Amino acid sequence: MVGQEANYIVSPALDADQAVIFVPGLGGGTKFVDQWNEPGREPVIRRANWSEPMSVPSVDERGAALASLVAGSGATEVVLVGHSMGALVCLEAAGHLERQLRGVIVMCQYPPHRTPLSPLAELPDRALAEEIEAPQHIMDTVALPEYARLWRSEYRLLNRYLESDPRPMLKAPIIAVGASDDASSWDTECLDDWSHYTTGSLSVHLIDGGHQVVERLPSETLREWVRKVGD
């Protein structure tokens, strides 16, 4: 179980009925979320960051922790937005939420049964850092082996999750977003299989860009998807 000392921190805090929560993937930043929150725009799009970045709880534990935070917040209309591995965390969190959940938006991530096991956990430190496009200051630091240990642990946890069963079955709609130059999401046939995880509607969108396209996603595009899952 997830301890009290390790959990998601949602910022800004959940203090309203409506909440859109963005969950990043492995090593993903969230600073760009600020560009989605023009003054006066509602609902506020919030960021979820793990409170202990150097700890590596499993995907389903993270999902349960996020769901527990949402369930205790008083928010009644929640949309979860997950990028890459964060999409899988959102799937697991959504499985614990009922009336509060309006929908889920998954970006740059095939559904679990269509995601191949990752070979990255077996790469040497620097090769692994290069493969995941780690920032230069991390590539050059003496702490690179510690970062590489964390990344390997994450990928091993991801692989274990991909081999596990059963998966959550949601009632809420899902929007699956792929990127044309992203090996993790360019195939719309694979994205169509997100329909296996909901009895609600599925909408698939393919946009131009690579795996980090989320960092340049226009606010209005995301907000249109949020409106769509709430209809």
Cβ neighbours, 10 Å, residue 190: 19
Torsion of CA 89, 90, 91, 97, to 10 degrees: 120
pLDDT along the chain (231 residues), means of 10: 65 88 87 90 91 79 93 91 96 93 97 92 90 83 88 88 91 97 94 97 96 93 93 71
Residue 106: enclosing H or E segment and its boundaries? strand 101-107
> Of 199, 191, 200, 216, which is closest to residue 87 (Cα–Cα)?
191
Residue 4, both tokens: 């009290």
Contacts of 91 (CB under 8 A, 6+ apart): 63, 82, 104, 106, 112, 167, 168, 170, 197
pLDDT score at 5:
58
* DSSP β-ladder status, 101-107 and 174-179: parallel
Strand locations in 1-76 (E): 8-11, 18-23, 45-50
CA–CA dist 62, 56 (Å, integer): 9
pLDDT score at 164:
87
Residue 102, both tokens: 């309006």
| Residue 208 DSSP one-character state | S
pLDDT score at 74:
82
pLDDT score at 88:
96
From edge to edge, which strands make up the β-sheet containing 174-179?
A: 8-11, 45-50, 18-23, 77-83, 101-107, 174-179, 202-207
> Of 183, 179, 229, 177, which is closest to residue 208 (Cα–Cα)?
179
pTM metric for this prediction: 0.90
pLDDT score at 3:
42
> Of 196, 194, 168, 202, which is closest to residue 110 (Cα–Cα)?
194
Under 8 Å between Cβ of 105 and 93: no
pLDDT score at 54:
66
Under 8 Å between Cβ of 78 and 45: no
